[in-house]
Amino acid sequence: MELKQLMIFQTAAQELNFTRTAQILCLAQSSITTQIKSLEEELGIPLFERLGKRVILSEAGHRFKAYADKILEVAEESKVIVGANVEPNGALTICASGTQCTYRLPSLLSQFQTRFPKVQLVFRSGISEADFGGLLAKGSLDAVLISMTPIISENLIVEALVPEPIVIVSHPDHFLAHKPEVTPLDLNGQPLLVTEECDYRRIFEESLTEAGAKPLSKLEFGDIEAIKKCVIAGIGIAALPKIAVEAEVNQGRMVILKWIGSDFPIITQLVWHKDKWMSPALRAFLDVTREVILKDHRL
């Protein structure tokens, strides 16, 4: 059993796609298949189940992954402790919310890759706010960059970076756009455009319910850009992160309503497990993330 095999297995277990694994590790797909087969023969049990063109982890594969993750982490830690001034390298798996992926990661990635070219970042989106804690504990994620209400956990280290203002937006010609104050009750009978379940959607909907406001309709989207296009088309009203709508507001294609309803205590936070080894790669990612987000916030 070699570290190379464990690294291939770890990546394949995360991707559940041998073609994608080969691309990430810059290896031929045949090499991935051969190394996995060799590892399975040595262990005497299949680590993956092949379902047509799909692969999933077997029960043994799930158990083995926990050990592979620990072995690779200890191996990386030993190289850093024994070696001097080791340049950050290796792979990091980061969970980032949709807002972060679309509006902050391009700048962050550009700077990070320039400074730390030997670190490969793999970003996971679409992970619910209820699930990332368990994935951090399992080692499936190295860190999380997310915007939500303050996270309180005994097992996680949470670093609050910047407030994430949430605004209520409409088409410029909507009658509420010219109102000096907009309350939750003003949205009674109005069509709403909402994101998938998240903290600021929950707060927004709760404020309407408490005021007795009943929207005419509610359309749910998994993509903020789709919601913005619908607002611009005059289809409905939405609550969105201010960072996501600034360009369109400046262009006059949508307006921010003068909302006097509930506040949105949403904060952009960096999160990692308290027992996670702080590798040079992870430390570098956290440092660059802080630097980029705090700099953009001051601007």
Question: Does the pLDDT at position 290 exceed 60?
Answer: yes
Which of the four pLDDT bands, split at 50, 70 and 90, describes residue 285? very high
Q: Work out the end-to-end distance of the chain between its first and last CA atoms, rounded to an integer number of angstroms.
A: 51
**Residues present in the chain in total:** 299
pLDDT digits (tens, 9 = 90+) for 153-212: 888 999 999 999 999 999 999 999 999 999 999 999 999 999 988 899 999 999 999 999
Which tokens in the block code for residue 241? Answer: 């992160």
Rounded Cα distance between 57 and 71, Å, is 19
What proportion of the chain, given as a percentage, has pLDDT over 90?
57
CA angle 179, 185, 189 (to 5 degrees): 95
Mean pLDDT of the chain: 89
CA angle 5, 11, 16 (to 5 degrees): 115
Cβ–Cβ < 8 Å for 76, 90: yes
Rounded Cα distance between 95 and 140, Å, is 10
3-state SS assignment for residue 8: helix
- What was the pLDDT predicted at 197? 85
pLDDT digits (tens, 9 = 90+) for 170-183: 999 999 999 999 99
In eight-state DSSP terms, residue 86 is P
Question: Does the pLDDT at position 123 exceed 90?
Answer: no
3-state SS assignment for residue 80: helix
- What was the pLDDT predicted at 220? 92
- What was the pLDDT predicted at 86? 66
pTM over 0.85: no
Count of CB atoms situated within 10 Å of the CB of 264 = 22
Cβ–Cβ < 8 Å for 25, 11: yes
Rounded Cα distance between 176 and 216, Å, is 15
Count of CB atoms situated within 10 Å of the CB of 193 = 24
Which tokens in the block code for residue 164? Answer: 């994430």
Domains of the chain (ranges; CATH) run 1-86 (1.10.10.10), 88-164+266-299 (3.40.190.10), 166-256 (3.40.190.10)
Rounded Cα distance between 258 and 144, Å, is 32
Which of the four pLDDT bands, split at 50, 70 and 90, describes residue 55? confident
For the CA atoms of 120, 125, 131, 137, the dihedral, rounded to the nearest 10 degrees, stands at 0
- What was the pLDDT predicted at 296? 74
Using CA atoms, how far residue 16 sits from 248, 261, 280, in Å, is 38, 45, 27
3-state SS assignment for residue 211: helix
Rounded Cα distance between 55 and 148, Å, is 34
pLDDT digits (tens, 9 = 90+) for 231-266: 999 999 999 999 999 999 999 999 999 999 888 999
What proportion of the chain, given as a percentage, has pLDDT over 70?
96
